[in-house]
Amino acid sequence: MTENADLAAIREAVRALCADFPGEYWRALDRERAYPEKFVAALTKAGFLAALIPEEYGGSGLTMSAAVAIMEEIQASGCNGAACHAQMYTMGTLLRHGSAEQKARYLPGIAKGELRLQAFGVTEPTSGTDTLGLRTTAVRDGNASYIVNGQKIWTSRAEHSDLMLLLARTTPRPPLNPPPHAGEGGVGAKRTAGLSVFLVDMREVKGNGLTIRPIRTMMNHATTEVFFENMRVPAENLIGVEGEGFRYILSGMNAERILIAAECIGDAKWFIEKATRYAGERVVFGRPIGQNQGVQFPIARSYIAMRAAELMVREAAGLYEAGKDCGAEANMAKHLAAEASWTAADMCLQTHGGFGFAEEFDIERKFRETRLYTVAPISTNLVLSYIAEHVLGLPRSY
């Protein structure tokens, strides 16, 4: 059985599962801004959320390409993978940099669905996408623990997760313009130094140093702000080496961008299929509206953009699987796919006219959901800055 056949079988299985969660299910949740517990439970039971966990820990041991297929099909079926996608991309940091004891302790429970690793605590109100400027601190308290103080924002699914992957500063940030012979934190200090990653068991600290406050947004995304006040984290929950956390997080961010790009491809396919079908069926002035080039061309352009983005997603996923540097490709995939899905969303709504705004068509819901990805998890401008600096060799702009 070829890999393509394997992926086709995965896609078919995901579509079959998603068929049990039609538009009515998502519309009801959207009205109440409720979490899709049944959907997440079904994905977990089917083993899809354990796709990237090795078989030795009870997971499926699949490739990034398989994970891409799963997330794409969820979106293409009209569902919303944002409720659970973090469990896939946060896994990379634990898998690649966690200790054998940490992996043995947590991965089997995650694979079985007994534990959820859905929260990714990185972004802060004052620093935004300037990750190196984060202020949350983790101070060593003897040999047994760290004391964490600070705040995170846009930490999605924190209310529905047992574990959080947390990035905090364990040593002061090196000065931007250090004086000569400044010593530690001065000349020779890396800009990325001093950040560390922790796996926080939120069940132990909710109400005991950890406060979670939900943020209502334009779409049903279950996002929050979290506050740490003298929150104690066992030293054994430090992932890897203290101070090397930014490097560890980067691999997870590449996975995040590839998987979210796959979701955007799925969204674009959903919008294109919806618009194509409607344009062929809707008759105005005695002919299908899809017979008019003014309606045809935007649909065709959306399809072309989606296919081009899809190829970049596959390229990035292939590099990730091979253990090669995929930073540029992951960023380009996310950028192209997010632009393609948003263009397709706008086109689909325009094609449907007034009906596009009706809740029962699901277009306005998906329109709101896919709009997020030109902003998060990394904005369009930062992707362009990354490509300009790291690919084209232009001077750093920020």
| Interatomic CA distance for residues 15 and 269, integer angstroms | 13
| Interatomic CA distance for residues 339 and 331, integer angstroms | 12
Q: Is residue 58 within 8 Å of residue 50, measured between CB atoms?
A: yes
Q: Which CATH fold topology does 3-112 show?
A: Butyryl-Coa Dehydrogenase, subunit A; domain 1 (1.10.540)
332: its two tokens: 């380009």
250: its two tokens: 């980067």
Higher-pLDDT residue of 297 and 91 is 297
Q: Which CATH fold topology does 118-244 show?
A: Butyryl-CoA Dehydrogenase, subunit A; domain 2 (2.40.110)
Q: How many residues does the chain have?
A: 398
| Interatomic CA distance for residues 303 and 297, integer angstroms | 10
| Interatomic CA distance for residues 1 and 277, integer angstroms | 34
Across the range 34-54, mean pLDDT stands at: 95
Range scoring the smallest mean pLDDT among 72-86, 186-200, 361-375 = 186-200
SS3 22: coil
Name the residue ranges covered by the structural domains of the chain.
3-112, 118-244, 247-391
Picking from 232, 355, 358, 258, the residue whose alpha carbon sits closest to that of residue 312 is: 258
**Superfamily holding 247-391:** Butyryl-CoA Dehydrogenase, subunit A, domain 3 (1.20.140.10)
Q: Which residue has the tokens 């801004």?
A: 33
Query: pLDDT, tens digit, for every residue of 244-296?
Result: 999 999 878 999 999 999 999 999 999 999 999 999 999 999 999 999 999 99
Phi-psi category of 74—alpha, beta or left, where left has phi over 0 and alpha has psi -120 to 50? Answer: alpha
Q: How many CB atoms lie within 10 A of CB 173?
A: 17
287: its two tokens: 């002919």
Range scoring the smallest mean pLDDT among 49-58, 64-73, 86-95, 298-307 = 86-95
| Interatomic CA distance for residues 86 and 48, integer angstroms | 13
SS3 238: strand
Query: pLDDT, tens digit, for every residue of 185-219?
Result: 444 457 788 999 999 999 999 999 999 999 999 99
The radius of gyration of the chain from alpha carbons, rounded to an integer in Å, stands at 22
- How confident is the model at residue 4, as a pLDDT? 85
| Interatomic CA distance for residues 137 and 251, integer angstroms | 22
278: its two tokens: 């409607």
Phi-psi category of 230—alpha, beta or left, where left has phi over 0 and alpha has psi -120 to 50? Answer: left
Backbone angles phi, psi at 58, to 5 degrees: 95, 5
| Interatomic CA distance for residues 157 and 192, integer angstroms | 27
- How confident is the model at residue 250, as a pLDDT? 84
- How confident is the model at residue 178, as a pLDDT? 53
| Interatomic CA distance for residues 314 and 24, integer angstroms | 32
Picking from 375, 371, 351, the residue whose alpha carbon sits closest to that of residue 361 is: 351
Identify the helix (H) or strand (E) that includes residue 330.
Answer: helix 327-352
pTM: 0.93
Across the range 71-79, mean pLDDT stands at: 98
- How confident is the model at residue 3, as a pLDDT? 58
Task: Say whether the peptide bond before residue 377 is cis (omega within 30 degrees of 0).
Answer: yes
- How confident is the model at residue 180, as a pLDDT? 46
Please tell me the chain's helix, strand, coil percentages from 3-state DSSP, rounded to the nearest 5.
Answer: 55, 15, 30
